[in-house]
Amino acid sequence: MKLNHISLVVIAVVALALSLSTTGCGGGSTSSGCGSSCGVTTPTGTFSASPTSISDGSSTTLSWTSENATSASIDNSVGSVTPVSGGSVKVSPTTTTTYTLTLTGSGGSATYQAAVTVTSTGAALILYYVGAYNNSAADATYVVESNGTNPTQIASGVYDPMWFADHQSLIATDSIAAAEFHIFTTSGTAAGTKLQSSISLDPIVNPGLPTPSPDGKTIVFVGFSSATYGHQGIYTVKADGTGLTTTPLYQNPNSGGVALGQPRWSHDGKYIVHNRIDASGHSEVWVMDADGTNPRQVTNIPGTNNSDGAFSEDDGTIFFDECTIGNTLCQIWKISSAGTVSTETLLVNNAGGPVPSPDGKSIVWLGVTTNHTTSPIFVSDVNGNNPQQIVANGGDPSW
């Protein structure tokens, strides 16, 4: 039979209709088409921990991103997390833990894992140093358990010691070299401590107070640029010795010696707290973004010098010391990291240099004696109660 043109068109339309009734939009067979599932994509994302190795009592940050997800949750008691598209949360596992991120959306679910290795250290270890003022080569760095037992000298000729987040290594300033930091690996004993690397900081002059970032990749410190000597600045260098910033994150406009105090990172790595001294010699605590932008003053207490700021474990509070002009009285205070005056709280009298423990339960601090000839080191609970002297004389304690 010979078909005309109109008959061929009718047959084609009927064939197309039959095809749509038996094939879904993805090509599979269905009796009713793909319906609402057309174009739906399974959620995807990323998930990581930084650092991936910590000591017992320390914290790590879990970070995630996602696409095509409407909800996100992390196991091991973390629970639902927001924003779903990406964020971070700090956790403090006490044993080695693998965290699982579950992303859920209309297209199904997907899981991602991040492992955190936890090393048990028994009692928390505190670093400090004892200065030998008539012979800087004899400056000695020690480690002591937080209950005051087993003080052990682990290095000589260095000062300003500070732990990396994993508590398996530390950084300190060379007592002799004009512009050098040293990184040591340590098991907490002199025999187990080894010089790992040195960081040359030339042309920075008189660098000091080095503090590693939470991820261990960047060191923040204070020093003088040879080009603007007399104006102390805050600088950074990578832990591998590269990437030294010759333009400071912040440079105090006032000359005349030391004008900046100990810079310390927030636990999420986003901010740096430090103190600044103005032309009149008055010091207040400031916070800036990790790249040096958006500086803001946290304390505003006329008639006193405020310094040695350190973030609490959850970054919501800053501990600092407040001293009357002439240092006749020094006290430890805490304040909201937002800098609200109404949140200032007095914790300890005749004390300074507070540093919270990684678990947020305690603080280590220096006792300020009337003659200022010795600086005993104390540990108390986070509110300043139940102080216990652990060292008769030392400086710059840190967890």
> DSSP string spanning 20-57?
HHHB-TTSSB-SS--GGGTT----EEEEEEESSEEETT
Q: Residue 67: inside a domain, yes or no?
A: yes
Q: What is the pLDDT of residue 285?
A: 95
Q: Are residues 88 and 199 in the same domain?
A: no
Q: Are residues 200 and 260 in the same domain?
A: yes
Q: Are residues 200 and 313 in the same domain?
A: yes
Q: Is 5 helix (H, G, I), strand (E, B) or coil?
A: helix
Does residue 27 surpass a pLDDT of 70?
no
pLDDT (tens digit, 9 = 90+) per residue, 88-109?
Answer: 999 988 788 999 999 999 999 9
**Residue 263 is part of a domain; what is its CATH number?**
2.120.10.30
Q: Are residues 115 and 131 in the same domain?
A: no
Dist CA 240 CA 387 (whole Å) = 38
- For residues 274 and 283, the answer to whether their CB atoms sit within 8 Å is no
Please name every residue paired with 386 in a beta bridge, in sequence order, or none if there are none.
Answer: none
Percent of residues, the chain, with pLDDT higher than 90: 57
Computed over every residue of the chain, the mean pLDDT equals 85
Q: Residue 11: inside a domain, yes or no?
A: no
Q: Are residues 94 and 132 in the same domain?
A: no
Tell me how many domains the chain contains. Answer: 2
Q: Are residues 231 and 339 in the same domain?
A: yes
Q: Residue 9: inside a domain, yes or no?
A: no
Tell if the pTM clears 0.75, that is, is over it.
no
pLDDT (tens digit, 9 = 90+) per residue, 296-342?
Answer: 999 988 888 999 999 999 999 999 999 987 667 899 999 999 888 77
Q: Are residues 81 and 143 in the same domain?
A: no
Provide CB contacts within 8 A for 174, sequence distance 6+: 157, 158, 180, 181, 182, 198
Q: Which of 336, 349, 351 is nearest to 397 (CA)?
A: 351
Q: Are residues 168 and 55 in the same domain?
A: no
Q: Are residues 312 and 280 in the same domain?
A: yes
Q: What is the pLDDT of residue 349?
A: 93
Range of the domain at 262: 125-398
